[in-house]
Each structure stands twice: as C-alpha cells, then as structure tokens.
Amino acid sequence: MLTHDSDALGERVRRITARVLPRAAVVLVTSLMTVLSGVLLAAASADTPAGWQNAPAVSGFDFLLVLFLIPVSLALVIAFLAFVPTLVGDHGYQPGQSWRGESEWFGGPRRGIAAADEVTSDRLEAAASETGSTSGRW
C-alpha cells in the first residue's frame, strides 16, 4: 500500500515537472530577451557622447541619394555591363540563319581545303574503292 502511494506520488511529481519546466524555460527566455532588447534600444537611442562632434544634419534628399539612388544606379550600371557582351558578342551560327559561306573543317589536315585539292587521282581511287559512304538531305 505504502509502495503504491509513493509510486503514485512520484508519477504525479514527474507529470507536474514535465509540464512546469518548459513553461518556466519559456518565461525565463522571454524575460531575458525583453531585458536585453530594452538595454540595446536604450544604447541605440542614447545621445551622442559629449566628447564627440555633433553629427551634420542630413536632408531627406541626401538620405535618399545615399541609401537608394546611388545603390540602385550602381546595380543598373553593373547589370548593363554584364548584359553588354551578350548584345555585341558573336553567337555563331543560329538556327534559321542562312549559312555564311565560310567553311570550317574540324579535325582536318593542317593546310585545310588546300590539302584536298592536292589529292592525286590514284590516291583518291585507292581510298574510294574501299570506303563506305552514306548521304542524306534535310
């Protein structure tokens, strides 16, 4: 009987502790935050120390100029400078364009098309007799 009572009491204490402890922690943290923010706000709104020079007056235009107009202008200039190469850069052959006439040979001889002009008929016949070829149109 006594054991049963003590178990029930222990269980009750545990439940109360589990309920109260988180609340106490929340109250403690909230109080600390309030006190800290009050201290910080007080520091922020403090007067200029006596030893310092008085801050010069800032007009509304100056405020806008420094905090809004100059940053926005800089951002626009940077964006423009970043965009310029895409406007003037060479994009190469684009779909739908007519071919520009110049030919390109990738992986060809160093002398380019001139090497093909110098191929002798014997060499051409020898090579052509054993090659395979496929063609297509689009």
Partner 1 sequence: MAGGEPFSAAQRAEIDRAIRGAETTCRFEFSVYVGASDGESHPFAQRLHAALASPARSVLILVDPGARLIEVVIGSVVRRSLSGDSVRLAVAGMQSAFAGGDLVGGIKHGVAQLADAARAPATLHG
Cα gap 113→105, rounded to integer Å: 8
Stretch that binds partner 1, among 21-29, 59-67, 69-77, 97-105 (CB under 8 A): 97-105
Smallest gap from Cβ 78 to partner 1, in A, equals: 23
Min. distance of Cβ 79 from partner 1 in angstroms?
A: 22
- Of the ranges 2-10, 18-26, 44-52, 85-93, which one interacts with partner 1 (CB under 8 A)? 85-93
Query: Is 83 within 8 Å of 75 (Cβ atoms)?
Result: no
Residues 24, 106: Cα–Cα separation, whole Å: 77
Tokens of 102: 């110049």
Shortest distance, CB of residue 92 to partner 1, whole angstroms? 3
Closest by CA position to 6, among listed 19, 16, 14, 18: 14
Nearer to partner 1 by Cβ, of 5 and 130: the residue is 130
